Structure 1
Amino acid sequence: MDVHGTVAEGFEPVREAFAANFALRGERGAAVAVYRDGHRVVDLWAGTRDVNGTVGIDGIDGTADSAPWERGTAQIVRSATKGVAAAVLLLLHQRGELDLDAPVGAYWPEYKAAGKERTRVRDLLAHRAGVPVLDRPLTPEQAVDPVLGAEAVAAQAPVWEPGTDHGYHAQTYGWLTGELVRRVTGQTIGEWIAREVAGPVGADLWVGLPAGEAGRVGRVGQVEPPRSATGLRIRPKRSVAEAYADPQSLTRRAFAVITPLPDENDPAYRAAVLPASNGIATADGLARFYAALIGEVDGGTRLFTPQTMELARTGHSAGPDRVLVAPTRFGLGHMLHSPASPLLGPGSFGHPGRGGALAFADPDAAVSFAYVTNGFHPNVTADPRAQALVHAVRTSLA
């Protein structure tokens, strides 16, 4: 497999780990980017743009299945989108437009229904709102409607008292954050990201893919890692596997809020604004975004003040997760470094995407990292390919 791109001196282990993902861990097409002190030090890509493509072999029907991954190739990053959505709410707080201790209902009156009147904005951000499920799941057609999802989550009764415990809001997080941003700004969260984040930072990053960018995005799909893969392969504990298998568990219900599962290659799904799950980005775009959260990018734009950065990486939820079952740690929206979701170090904050993608920042090392892939493996966090790359970054810094 030919690996394209560049690495700065000292970061050669990342190139080696990236190549090993294709040789050992079933990679189809992927990219990784790393920034240090606001400057790009790793920018690599390889494979095919489409998950079922084969480099060097033309598609029989003349399709782009065999088109190679290029530097500007973007992919859906699933829940890595949540890290961007959380940053939007923190930026609104930074600007004085959103009070983290105010009730959500102060901005979104309909949300007070069914015992949720005391839910604070910070509870919503830290997965403590108690509404990870919907009693009536939405169809994919309903889920992309800009109104129905917010109405459903506003009407939903919490499954625990808001603020008293935490559990991963796998899908509902998108409507919770998105509607709150719309009530505060009058814009969709996708519009706000384009105008206030991606544009100023120069990041290829969208929540709600513009039609003009559709040609840059390859097809994604679920793939099984090879049985012969060695090292860094993580199997779920029995309790976790049982939770996913039980149709009545919070785990299964949280991931089945949209039923049946949407087609992530459908142009209508990609164009929708679902900030829990359907962000589309290049690896460089995500790494550049996180670099701007912790410092100036290329000597220019910075998004977070030092105070807001500390809010992002300060723990607000920790311990057994009611949805993911395993112990998790969350700040105000971002996952924090933990055994269940290893990042670079104790001060890191970011978010994985189920099945592969990972993006985060580590202020202590002045590093930001992003990995995107078109082949999703059967895991929620700690993807072996991403972890191999993170380990290589750690080795490079050492």
Structure 2
Amino acid sequence: MSNDASGDLAPIPAGMAGHATAEFAPLVRAFARTFGHRKGAGGALTVHLHGEPLLDIWTGSTGSTPWTHDTGSIIFSATKGVTATVIHRLADRGLLDYAAPIAEYWPEFGANGKDKITVRQAMTHSAGLSALAPIATGMDDVLDHQLMEQRLAEAKPDRLLGVPAYHALTYGWLMAGLARAITGRGMAELFRTEVADPLGIDGIHLGSPPAQAATSYAPLAGTQLTALGNPVSAMVLGRSHLIPGALGAATRCLFLPGLEGLLAGEEPPILRTELGAGNGVCTAPALATMYGALANDGMAAGHQYLSRRTIKAIRRIQTYRLDSALFYAPMMWRLGYHSLPMPGARAGFGHIGLGGSFGWAEPRLGLSVGFVHNRLSAGQLSYDQSAAFWLLPMLMNCLRATRRVPVQETREVAA
């Protein structure tokens, strides 16, 4: 651990494994208390500074076995950050231009007045294609990713074209259709060839990890979203087009009647498709490694993973407009990643998923973070979803104590 500031390691509580520098002891204890005592569930947190590990810890279980360094879970919308990285790899090789119309690469997409929608608009959730109901009737449609790509190509944009409105599920099919048109390959294969293989990591997969992978999948623990299947919820969701304002926009981009079935069972149906917006199975160390390249001028293990030109484009905030489908949250969308208006995150970027798993990069410090866990319970969802809001500030406080980064610089980042 070449970034170890004191030469000492933090004590690892019973039931937890891994390692951390001594200065991270408060974070280790907090993580153990929060994630180490959940029935059938566990989690992992990895922090890299300039590509070297400062902290790599895990705790809990997958239901039947203890959590390990190679345990991965569904990271839901944090998948979007990996999908965006695939697109940036294509742009880096000159295969696409962010300012160009998607139809220039994917001609079918130009139907129904979409011929001028750009790659940049799609990557900032401004393509006017966030709603599910116009393209899908239920779970079977959503599981057919090539059908969804085709239907988005045929779809008509809605009145929010040009305005940030979170494309909760459609983002993945939009990026996959674009990438398929350019490369002839699906997004699951591109996760491997553009992210995992070049970075030398196993723990990033789209859908269920293959049998030969080192990554082991941790089934979802908790109630999941079964409450959405009750008759009242189904009636409301079936009429989402009538719900006004931000609530209506959020409902239309996230839900269809019966969609909660995607998460049912030990091997849920969501694992059997390619959903670049939401079914990545990742480990915490793999996410920290990928975001480490984005946090360190495109460099990973001494190799140039992305050019400085592309990294500069990634770091630029594309829109400060509030997101109409996320209750007017200030997402500060970059090209496929978002920021957070909170201490420790304003200068960074990444993507948070349903349940709170996330990957994060802080370029001013050369810092990257991966956090994954497998609990998904309606009753605890609001608490779990906010994990980044206490993990990142606590991480910054511990990082100051390492003295590997000037105290003033971390204060400016956290300001």
TM range (shorter): 0.7 to 0.9
1:190-241, CA deviations, whole angstroms, 9 ceiling, x for partnerless residues? Answer: 21220121012122101133430498112114459xxxxxxxxxxxxxxxxx
1:22 offset after TM fit, Å? 3.3
**Structure 2: how far apart are the matches of 1:337 and 1:197?**
24
Matched, 1:153 2:166: no
**Structure 2: how far apart are the matches of 1:137 and 1:198?**
31
Structure number with higher helix proportion: 2
1:89 offset after TM fit, Å? 1.1
* Partners of 2:79 and 2:353 within 8 A in 1: yes
**Structure 2: how far apart are the matches of 1:380 and 1:318?**
25
Cα pair distance change 1:5/1:215, threshold 3 Å: closer
1:340-366, CA deviations, whole angstroms, 9 ceiling, x for partnerless residues? Answer: xx7x33221100001120111001011
Give the partner amino acid of 1:373. Answer: H
**Structure 1: how far apart are the matches of 2:25 and 2:299?**
22
The structure showing larger relative contact order (alpha-carbon pairs under 8 Å, at least 6 residues apart) is 1
User: Paired residue for 1:11?
Assistant: 24
Spell out structure 1 runs of 4+ moving beyond 6 A. 23-27, 243-246
Please provide the CA RMSD for this pair: 2.7
User: Paired residue for 2:143?
Assistant: 144
SS at match of 2:320: strand
User: Paired residue for 1:22?
Assistant: 35
- TM-score of the superposition, structure 1-length normalised? 0.83
Q: Which range is displaced more, 80-89 or 384-393?
A: 384-393
Give the partner amino acid of 1:156. Answer: A
Matched, 1:294 2:295: yes
Matched, 1:270 2:283: no
Cα pair distance change 1:314/1:377, threshold 3 Å: farther
* Aligned equivalent of 1:330, options 330, 333, 348: 333
Give the partner amino acid of 1:17. Answer: A
Matched, 1:40 2:39: no
**Structure 2: how far apart are the matches of 1:316 and 1:336?**
11
Aligned residue pair count: 361
* Aligned equivalent of 2:319, options 317, 338, 341: 317
Matched, 1:166 2:164: yes
Cα pair distance change 1:251/1:20, threshold 3 Å: same
Give the partner amino acid of 1:366. Answer: G
Alignment of 1:1-398 (within 5 A): 2-22=15-35, 28-50=41-63, 64=64, 67-134=65-132, 135-160=134-159, 162-163=161-162, 165-203=163-201, 204-212=203-211, 213=213, 216-222=216-222, 247=240, 248=243, 249-256=248-255, 259-261=258-260, 262-263=262-263, 265-266=266-267, 268-295=269-296, 299-327=301-329, 328-339=331-342, 344-376=344-376, 378=378, 379=381, 383-398=385-400
1:257 offset after TM fit, Å? 5.1
Give the partner amino acid of 1:220. Answer: L
User: Paired residue for 2:3?
Assistant: none
1:137 offset after TM fit, Å? 2.5
SS at match of 2:23: coil
Cα pair distance change 1:70/1:199, threshold 3 Å: same
* Partners of 1:245 and 1:252 within 8 A in 2: no
Cα pair distance change 1:292/1:271, threshold 3 Å: farther
User: Paired residue for 1:230?
Assistant: none
Q: Which range is displaced more, 378-387 or 323-332?
A: 378-387
Identity score, percent = 30
1:179 offset after TM fit, Å? 0.8
* Partners of 2:110 and 2:153 within 8 A in 1: yes
1:298 offset after TM fit, Å? 6.8
Stretches of structure 1 that go unaligned for 5 or more consecutive residues are: 51-63, 225-242
Give the partner amino acid of 1:375. Answer: R
Stretches of structure 2 that go unaligned for 5 or more consecutive residues are: 1-13, 225-235, 401-415
**Structure 2: how far apart are the matches of 1:350 and 1:219?**
24
Cα pair distance change 1:150/1:381, threshold 3 Å: farther
**Structure 2: how far apart are the matches of 1:183 and 1:196?**
16
1:303-338, CA deviations, whole angstroms, 9 ceiling, x for partnerless residues? Answer: 222222222221112232111113222101101232
* Partners of 1:246 and 1:252 within 8 A in 2: no
1:113-133, CA deviations, whole angstroms, 9 ceiling, x for partnerless residues? Answer: 222111011101111101001
Give the partner amino acid of 2:157. Answer: P
* Partners of 2:362 and 2:368 within 8 A in 1: yes
**Structure 2: how far apart are the matches of 1:215 and 1:193?**
14
SS at match of 1:359: strand
Give the partner amino acid of 2:294. Answer: L
**Structure 2: how far apart are the matches of 1:43 and 1:79?**
22
Cα pair distance change 1:170/1:298, threshold 3 Å: closer
Give the partner amino acid of 2:317. Answer: G
Cα pair distance change 1:139/1:166, threshold 3 Å: same
